[in-house]
Homo-oligomer: A and B are copies of this chain.
């Protein structure tokens, strides 16, 4: 299925209720504590990857990269770098979200040419447009920028898995240098997050609650907490 397909999710429908609306996905998603051994079909993994690929990014640079670990020995290697977390070998699929520091620059010509071909940016002075965009990104902390972008894509992926009826566990407990070493990633790669996908073993965790909007949101000024209508 090409990344510009008009259908992201497989016709295959996982749950008895079909694809969940976003509202239900947001309310029902839980970090999965344990996975059973149910395999995840290739078409589901691919739909999850396409949901990530279609995330928005600054100048459409798409700096995210995804290493899909399905082989047991590869997940065992990752587990060694991730505080021996059992979920990593229990889940049939773990996706490592990472970003090579310069990866987004290496694909920039391809990105800008495709943008111009589709009429999304002017086709004149492409190289100059690209250089200005690169220079702008470099006015920010590139590490923070890479972290932000990988998480936009990861959130798409987590929600896509949920609407298709699969369970996920996002993880941030790992030693980046050990992950690079265990998985033979280049030294200049930012390892950002892990996402296990499969079927939960046992019941979902209880919903832990959320801070009220009056604590986390503000109306025009930070002196005025958001008042629920």
A contacts, CB < 8 Å to B: 1-4, 6-9, 19, 21-23, 25-27, 29, 31, 42-43, 46, 49-51, 53-56, 58, 60, 62, 64-71, 74, 107, 110-111, 114-115, 117-121, 136, 140-141, 143-145, 147-152, 154-156, 158-160, 163, 170, 172-173, 183-186, 192-193, 205-213, 215-223, 226, 228-229
Contacts and interface: CB of A to CB of B under 8 A. Distances in A.
Nearest to A9: B23
What is the total number of copies of this protein in its complex?
Answer: 2
Contacts of A219: 68, 70
Nearest to A103: B216
Given A74-B220, A120-B209, A148-B193, 17 more contacts: A1-B228, A3-B209, A3-B212, A6-B27, A8-B27, A50-B213, A53-B213, A66-B216, A67-B217, A69-B220, A111-B211, A118-B206, A120-B206, A147-B148, A151-B155, A183-B221, A185-B222
A218 B68 contact: yes
A78 to B, nearest CB: 11
A210 B4 contact: yes
A228 B8 CA distance: 13
